[in-house]
Chains A and B, each alone.
Chain A
Amino acid sequence: MLRLPRFRYLRPKTAREAASMAAELGTRAMFVAGGTDLFPKLKRRQFEIDTLIGLDFQSREIHDGGAACVIDAGVTLSAASRDAHLNAMFPGYAQAAGLVSSPPLRNAGTIGGNLCVDTRCNYYDMTYEWRKAAGFCLKKDGDICLVAPSSPRCWAVSSSDTAPMAMALDGWVILAGPDGDRELPVAALYRDDGIEYMAKRPTEVVTGLRLTAAPNTRSAYVKLRRRGSIDFPIAGAAVAVALDGDTIAGCRIVLSGVASHPLEVPAADEFLKGKRADREILKEAADLAAKPAKPLDNADLSHFWRKRMVHVVVEQALEIATTSTRGSMVKLSQQ
């Protein structure tokens, strides 16, 4: 049986206290919320820490303030996916939460943890013994990237389903640090780096996500994965579209699973502005959106195919957001 390493478990009562503990302990400690991302990685010895700072104190409410809404970081993915208010106001976000992994995992995994989920790579998300046999890589214990050996950086993939949606919705994260709270646009939470993938300070605790509904804005999330459940996204499209009649007043498309951070595609957003939402236009936008996606050979299925599929997921997400139907779309998996 794979087991966790020995660690101490600290139980702060507030986010501020948790942040102070993190400041004091430095890299020896990590936060843990649902543990669904962290525990498998600890069992595979992908982190060396001796202390966990439990975020069990986190409250688990969705504060419905009409157009604006704050989701506590401790809200589980299943609660978020079923919440009536979220489904009405931010359907894409509820869809994304409901498409994470599998039902029992979503009952423990939190939306805060999902924003902070580690980047993934199938040379890295392996047991210690496997990595030792393969040769350790840059992200942990080694000095080269096994996917792109000539590259000085790590290309591990951002694989959160909800982060791109939160970005597309112009969400803000609420952070608690040892010295006080601040808010950041979700987009500012990430860095294009497989190793240092988060731009927040390591001592900061995510305490909530603030979403504000823009007028006439509809959202959708489409996820590609091999099976109908359990799997991470190998390409995903989060879109939020503001409509003025059938003209697109504004649009934000963010991709998951194709870069080391949730990937914004401003060229596609720009292109759509002011256009009518018809099939041809959406298709063209999807082609623009797919351009910057650079999947590598470190996730399921071939990167060539995944790259092609970015067009499809974007197109489908745009179609759902602009027409609220799935029409006769290809089933990407049995979702």
Chain B
Amino acid sequence: MKNETLRPVDRQVIALEVNGERTEMLLPVHKTLLEVLREDMGLTGTKHGCELGECGTCTVLVGGKPELSCLVLPIQVQGQAVTTVEGMAHGSQLHPLQQAFAELGAAQCGYCTPGILLAAKSLVETNPAPTRDEIREALAGNLCRCTGYSKILDAVSLAASRMG
């Protein structure tokens, strides 16, 4: 079954816009956005926990909306802005969400944090004053094993109130 490994690789030049920077790269089409970000672009802030769409760890923004980068091909997102956790801060100024997560201890091991920050960013941009239940709904695809979610809810609320 693994003889597909011996097949030739289909490489295509793919134009990506990641964190506001445009690049064209020659990429194997079967590499997921997750792999390309981490392995070809050095953007290792995007993490992974299953690679099957089951945990949310790999969440990035595509056109401002959270998507699972383990289930997206770069070729499918050409022409759309991709945002990773590396693109959240303004220069050396943390994004209010990052600031709130740091202040309230919402990142313990920090492994789920990049994905959750991005999902939260998309939420507060469309709903500037989300209720706790709305935050839960929006982040329901992102598992965290450390925090029990409480501090994350607090941090998103705090950031939203500061941004509002």
Q: Is the CB of A128 within 8 A of B1?
A: yes
Give the docked Cα–Cα distance between A11 and B73 (Å).
13
Chain B nearest CB, measured from A195 CB (Å) = 18
Q: Which 3 A-B pairs have the closest CB atoms?
A: A102-B141, A229-B140, A5-B4
Contacts of A137 in B (CB 8 A): none
Contacts of A40 in B (CB 8 A): 52-54, 71
Q: Is the CB of A102 within 8 A of B9?
A: no
Give the docked Cα–Cα distance between A48 and B5 (Å).
12
> Within the complex, which residue of B28, B51, B138 is in contact with A6, where a contact is CB–CB below 8 Å?
B28
B21 located at the interface, meaning its Cβ lies under 8 Å from any Cβ of chain A in the complex: no
B136-147 to A contact mask, C-beta < 8 Å, 1/0 = 011111110000
Q: Is the CB of B72 within 8 A of A103?
A: no
Contacts of B66 in A (CB 8 A): 103-104, 107
Q: Is the CB of A7 within 8 A of B68?
A: no
Given A6-B7, A103-B138: A35 touches B35 (CB 8 Å cut-off): no
Q: Is the CB of B28 within 8 A of A39?
A: no
Given A9-B10, A108-B72: A101 touches B53 (CB 8 Å cut-off): yes
Give the docked Cα–Cα distance between A8 and B8 (Å).
9
Chain A residue with minimal CB distance to B29? A9
Chain B nearest CB, measured from A108 CB (Å) = 5
Q: Is the CB of B140 within 8 A of A228?
A: yes
Residues of A1-25 whose CB lies within 8 A of B: 1-9, 11
Chain B residue with minimal CB distance to A39? B71
Contacts of A228 in B (CB 8 A): 140
Chain A residue with minimal CB distance to B8? A6
Q: Is the CB of A2 within 8 A of B51?
A: yes
Give the docked Cα–Cα distance between A6 and B9 (Å).
6
For this complex, 11 residue pairs linking A to B, each with C-beta atoms less than 8 Å apart, are A3-B51, A7-B30, A39-B32, A48-B4, A50-B7, A103-B119, A103-B139, A105-B68, A108-B67, A108-B68, A229-B140
Contacts of B32 in A (CB 8 A): 3-4, 39
Q: Is the CB of A6 within 8 A of B4?
A: yes
A36 located at the interface, meaning its Cβ lies under 8 Å from any Cβ of chain B in the complex: yes
Q: Is the CB of A229 within 8 A of B52?
A: no
A185 located at the interface, meaning its Cβ lies under 8 Å from any Cβ of chain B in the complex: no
Q: How many residues of B contact A (CB 8 A)?
A: 41
Chain B nearest CB, measured from A122 CB (Å) = 13
Interface size class of A (residues with CB under 8 A): 35 or more
B65 located at the interface, meaning its Cβ lies under 8 Å from any Cβ of chain A in the complex: yes
Q: Is the CB of B29 within 8 A of A36?
A: no
Q: Is the CB of A104 within 8 A of B68?
A: yes
Residues of B25-58 whose CB lies within 8 A of A: 28-32, 35, 48, 50-54, 56
Contacts of A105 in B (CB 8 A): 53, 68, 71, 141
Chain A residue with minimal CB distance to B66? A104
B positions within 8 Å CB-CB of A? 1, 4-5, 7-10, 12, 28-32, 35, 48, 50-54, 56, 59, 62, 65-68, 70-73, 75-76, 119, 137-143
A277-318 to B contact mask, C-beta < 8 Å, 1/0 = 000000000000000000000000000000000000000000
Q: Is the CB of B140 within 8 A of A1?
A: no
Give the docked Cα–Cα distance between A43 and B70 (Å).
10
Give the docked Cα–Cα distance between A9 and B75 (Å).
9
Give the docked Cα–Cα distance between A78 and B75 (Å).
22
List 18 additional A-B contacts (Cβ < 8 Å) besides A78-B65, A108-B72. A3-B30, A3-B35, A6-B7, A6-B28, A7-B4, A7-B30, A9-B29, A9-B30, A35-B76, A39-B53, A48-B4, A50-B4, A102-B140, A103-B138, A104-B142, A105-B68, A107-B62, A108-B68
Contacts of B5 in A (CB 8 A): 5-6
Contacts of B9 in A (CB 8 A): 6
A178 located at the interface, meaning its Cβ lies under 8 Å from any Cβ of chain B in the complex: no
Contacts of B29 in A (CB 8 A): 7-9
A45 located at the interface, meaning its Cβ lies under 8 Å from any Cβ of chain B in the complex: yes
Chain B nearest CB, measured from A142 CB (Å) = 13
Q: Is the CB of B71 within 8 A of A56?
A: no
Give the docked Cα–Cα distance between A43 and B48 (Å).
14
Give the docked Cα–Cα distance between A153 and B56 (Å).
35
Q: Is the CB of B68 within 8 A of A36?
A: yes
Q: Is the CB of B76 within 8 A of A54?
A: yes
Chain A residue with minimal CB distance to B60? A104
